[in-house]
Structure 1
Amino acid sequence: MTSGDPEIPEGQPRMGEAALLGLCPRCGGRTLFGGLTRFADHCRTCSLDFSKFNVGDGPAAFLILIIGALIVGLAMWLQLSYEPPVWVHVLLWVPLTTALVIFGLRAAKAALVFAEYRNHAGEAGRKP
């Protein structure tokens, strides 16, 4: 896989690819996630240890605020424009919110791991 960017070493994916597809930041294999939003312990291809990356709860907090505001705005618009029954709101917004949060969380967590790997980030006081 060639990135075409002189600052990205050969074989490593770009951030957008890594975030959307859950790619390992070192080798580009689809091995970052071991569950729906849980990281794998290590890359099955290149053995990169994913446990050393500390993403934390930052992506979840931003997603809750952003997606929550978006869904509430859309639900209010729908209610004021068409006045559908409550079951329509439940049928629309519950699955949409769930899907947006899960896939948004995967992409945000993968992007942060990618950025930590690319910038050699770590905890303060710890040698890389």
Structure 2
Amino acid sequence: MARRRRLSPVQTGLRGRCPACGEGNLFKGFLKFQEECEACGTDFRDEDAGDGPAFFAMFAVLIVIIPMAIAFQMVTGVPMWLELLIWGPVIIGLCLFLLRKLRGVMFNTAWRRNAREVPAKDMKQ
């Protein structure tokens, strides 16, 4: 196994860069990972960020948005349909923005720690 450089998984993940060299793009599409780094050739095929990024994105957004929505309702008294019309797109937009960033961070953290999925055949019964 090649020796891994000490790059911050948070910095490289937030920028969407390769965890090994910090140069190549981590993503091929919006959320799809590259198969390998275009700069250093590091293989990403066995890596996965799992469902953690989605949970953390939703949790962080809702921790911030729910108090704002309640305060907005108390101050303005607008109808519920208008609240949903305002806050629905805000929640979805912020979750999508954070999802890519958190997916990069969790991917890079798992790569840095050499974490891999354990195949079912290798699990003890």
Cα distance, 1:45 vs structure 2: 1.3
Unaligned 5+ segments in structure 2 are: none
Residue 25 of structure 2 aligns to a residue in which SS? Answer: coil
Which of 45, 50, 59 lines up with 1:65 in the alignment?
A: 59
The TM-score with structure 2 as length reference comes to 0.75
Which of 25, 29, 34 lines up with 2:28 in the alignment?
A: 34
% of aligned pairs identical?
29
Match of residue 44 from structure 2: 50
Which of 89, 96, 99 lines up with 2:90 in the alignment?
A: 96
Q: Distance in 2 between the 1:30 and 1:45 partners? A: 5
Q: Confirm or deny: 8 A CA contact 2:24 2:38 kept in the other structure.
A: no
Which of 6, 10, 19 lines up with 1:16 in the alignment?
A: 10
Please provide the CA RMSD for this pair: 2.3
Q: 1:24-68: CA deviations, max 9, x gaps?
A: 001112410111122122211112222211211122123223323
Unaligned 5+ segments in structure 1 are: 1-7
Which of 71, 74, 91 lines up with 1:77 in the alignment?
A: 71
What is the letter of the counterpart of residue 85 of structure 2?
V
> What is the number of residues matched between the two proteins?
115
What is the letter of the counterpart of residue 58 of structure 1?
G
